[in-house]
Structure 1
Amino acid sequence: MQAVGGYAFKKTDKIVTVTLDPNTITSINPDEVHEWRIAIYDLLETNRFAPARVTSTGPYALHVSIVGNSIVLDVRDPNTFQPIAAHYLSLTPFRRLIRDYFRIRESYYEAIRAAQPYQIETVDMARRGIHNEAAELLRTRLVNKLHIDLNTARRLFTLICAVQPYASRIDERASALPTVLFVCSMNSVRSPIAAALARQTFPGRLISRSVGVAGGKADSFVHDVMEEIGIDMSVHTPHTMDELIATRFDLVVTLSDDAREAVERKGLEIGAIEHWPVADPTLVHGNRDTILNAYRALRDDLRQRVRARLETLVSSGSQTT
């Protein structure tokens, strides 16, 4: 064990999975997405991390979203994605440091291209100074919330810098955008694929959510077939209906039989509800190619349905406001 700030870290006190909320952290620029992935890789490579004031055993999954002016650090079980603790971290105290981070980063890149070694060293020292200041501030703001060491705080600040410029600041409670909710059994395959396709097909023109009747696990085949069409599903964290905050949707689409029953029990305010009978590729057996083809067939089926059905919803606007 290693003690930091009075807390003795265990070997299992670490983050092993980081996911980003695709509803609030949005970009279609591959360079920006690449920057997110590098920041996530660096954080996962070496970190010491544990939630405070809760009884839990690591390792942990970290789901990051942006709500208003806050970064939400949602700590979960990496196998079941069941919630453990969630903390809102205001971005306001970090604004100057974030601006300085990008300014120094550009100076560093320019120095590497053209400057003398002593100039590179000077800029690098300034960059390290900003990182250290931000890391200490981050640890201070997370006292009694999360236990992290200085290096983890530095890497977490880098991730915050990477994602926050591309955050969607839409207030869903006040937005006039049409809203659609996709529901399946586990929120691992059918509903997250449909929601991601809706966001890709109608970027910035609707709010698309997905949940499951029960919690599931991230599916690697989903990641593979969606990456083929330019959608990064490695950021997806399965959510259940019990985690829904919004209660009004212009359209709810159920994708499994148990989803229909669950939606009825939930008592949501719904403009329209539809059931799309689509295949479940997790039931397909065979070699890898056979299974991937089943996932591709579901993806292509859902893409056609999403385009055909949601075009009218987007054109008519929200009906529940």
Structure 2
Amino acid sequence: MRILILCTGNRCRSQMAHGILKYLCPSIEVHSAGVRPATEVHPLAIQVMSEIGIDISQHYPKSVDQYLNQTWNYVITVCGGARENCPVFNGTVANRLHIGFDDPDAFTGSPEELLTEFRRVRDEIYKELQKFAKILES
């Protein structure tokens, strides 16, 4: 089973989803990428993931271009930008799925408010991917 998770920058949501899905389904091959990749994974994404025991500190943003000729069981978009700008895959994509989440990086506020927003989005991603993992297991 091969799953690709797409976001615009591959900086927050797709990185958190990548870590969570790999944690929930360790035998599945999971990758994440962006249609316009950022230069680094957001430090708060790394922090809030470590709070739940998932280490994404070695992750880095990648371009979707490197995955276009590969075969995927699922390509999952986690933001509207990636959904709207999802490129054409030359390889086989068995299933396309959109599970959208707010962009915690777009939120403005105090450091504590930002951290709260990242935790909220992380928890939403976890909840939705738990449901998805149950579908994969059945």
TM-score calculated relative to the size of structure 2:
0.90
Q: Does 1:196 align with 2:19?
A: yes
Q: Quote the residue 1:227 is aligned against.
A: 50
- Percent of aligned pairs sharing the same letter: 26
Cα distance in 2 between the residues matched to 1:246 and 1:200: 26
Choose which of 29, 36, 41 in structure 2 pairs with 1:207: 29
Secondary structure in 2 matching 1:233: coil
Larger RCO, structure (CA 8 Å, separation 6 or more): 2
Q: Does 1:241 align with 2:64?
A: yes
Cα distance in 1 between the residues matched to 2:45 and 2:112: 13
Q: Quote the residue 1:312 is aligned against.
A: 135
TM-score calculated relative to the size of structure 1:
0.41
Amino acid at match of 2:66: E
Cα distance in 1 between the residues matched to 2:108 and 2:136: 36
Gaps of 5+ in 2: none
> Which structure has the bigger radius of gyration?
1
Q: Does 1:282 align with 2:99?
A: no
Choose which of 184, 199, 203 in structure 1 pairs with 2:7: 184
Q: Quote the residue 1:27 is aligned against.
A: none
Q: Quote the residue 2:124 is aligned against.
A: 301
Deviant stretches of 4+, over 4 Å: none
Q: How big is each residue's C-alpha offset from its partner over 1:197-251, in whole Å with a ceiling of 9 and x where there is no partner?
A: 01111122x1111000012122110111011011122101110111227621111
Q: Does 1:272 align with 2:81?
A: no
Q: Quote the residue 1:252 is aligned against.
A: 75
Deviates more, 1:262-271 or 1:216-225: 262-271
- What does 1:97-116 correspond to in 2, within 5 Å? none
Cα distance in 2 between the residues matched to 1:187 and 1:218: 7
Gaps of 5+ in 1: 1-177, 316-321
Deviation at 1:309, TM superposition (A): 1.1
Cα distance in 1 between the residues matched to 2:20 and 2:102: 17
What is the aligned length? 137
Q: How big is each residue's C-alpha offset from its partner over 1:17-70, in whole Å with a ceiling of 9 and x where there is no partner?
A: xxxxxxxxxxxxxxxxxxxxxxxxxxxxxxxxxxxxxxxxxxxxxxxxxxxxxx
Cα distance in 1 between the residues matched to 2:56 and 2:69: 23
Cα distance in 2 between the residues matched to 1:233 and 1:203: 14
